[in-house]
Amino acid sequence: MSDKQKHATAYWKENLKYLVILLSIWFLVSYGCGILFKDALNEIRLGGFKLGFWFAQQGSIYVFVILIFVYVRLMNKLDKKYGFNE
């Protein structure tokens, strides 16, 4: 295996690590807070709405959008680290 292939493989593995972590966070927020922990979160109110309802309807979307920006930032750093930046 050439150095270029090893470089690309390391880049891809780190990229997959970021994806798994970020998608796990999104899953925990959307499924966990919106479904599993809904009853406990409904004891708290946010803007007049129960927090479990808020996470199910809006919170997971907001978290997903934030995670997109985090992913872009991480990928920009990763590109610079491996020399793939433009």
Confidence class for position 57, pLDDT limits 50, 70, 90: confident
Residue 13: the pLDDT is 96
Q: Percent of the chain beyond pLDDT 90?
A: 41
Strand partners, 45: 50
Does residue 75 lie in a domain region?
yes
Give the closest residue to 81 by CA, choosing from 19, 2, 25, 12: 12
Domain count of the fold of the chain: 1
Instruction: Convert the pLDDT of each residue in 18-48 to its tens digit.
Output: 999 999 999 988 888 778 888 888 888 878 8
- Which structural domain, as residue segments, surrounds residue 17? 11-80
Does residue 4 lie in a domain region?
no
Whether 66 has a pLDDT exceeding 90, the answer reads: yes
Does residue 30 lie in a domain region?
yes
Does residue 1 lie in a domain region?
no
Whether 7 has a pLDDT exceeding 90, the answer reads: no
Give the chain's largest Cα–Cα span. 60
Q: How far apart are CA 65 and CA 68, in angstroms?
A: 5
Helix H or strand E encompassing 17: helix 3-27
The token pair at 60 is 């997971």
